[in-house]
Amino acid sequence: MTLQDYATYIAGLPRVLVGAAALFRDAEGRVLLVEPNYREGWALPGGTVESDTGETPRQGARRETLEEIGLDIGLGPLLAVDWVPPGPVRPRPPLVAYLYDGGMLDDDQLKSIRLQEEELLSWRLVAQADLAEYLPDELGRRIAAGLDVLARGGGPVELEDGHRVG
């Protein structure tokens, strides 16, 4: 196979999006959610990994956290990896979503949050019992799985559309 053949082969492979987010909590265990202005519903601080620059999922989650809420915080362990199939509501390629432990935010950190106004309307802390009111089903399941890893210990979990596998 020549280099040109290989390049043609690579160009024809399916595309998959890579996303990464951080799961931040406060001392009461509430989860930090952000409200995007470009779609309905709430999300975690995070976004698309810039793979064309060589950015890793961990680097992407940290960059997005800094851009979106103004906090430059080293992230803890990987909590979950979720394969999310294309959706009928928002057509897009499949997504591999990485979820990292953002840790507990203290009062000073919460007070220093500065929203990226080009993308976000607001932020709030939401009790775990109320997350379903704010989140799409698969993201709610992903967060629940991440919180379970934090509560029980152990390594990251593998998810498909937010459901545990394996």
Domain boundaries, the chain: 14-164
pLDDT in tens, 28-70: 999 999 999 988 899 999 999 998 899 999 999 999 999 999 9
Choose which CATH entry (3.90.79.10, 3.40.50.2300, 3.40.50.720, 3.30.420.40) describes domain 14-164. 3.90.79.10
| pTM listed for this prediction | 0.92
**Residue 21 pLDDT more than 80?**
yes
**Residue 8 pLDDT more than 90?**
no
3-state secondary structure the chain: CCHHHHHHHHHCCCCCEEEEEEEEECCCCCEEEEEECCCCCCECCEEECCHHHCCCHHHHHHHHHHHHHCCCCCCCCEEEEEEECCCCCCCCCCEEEEEEEEEECCHHHHHCCCCCCCCEEEEEEECHHHHHHCCCHHHHHHHHHHHHHHHHCCCCEEEECCEECC
* Average confidence score pLDDT of the chain: 93
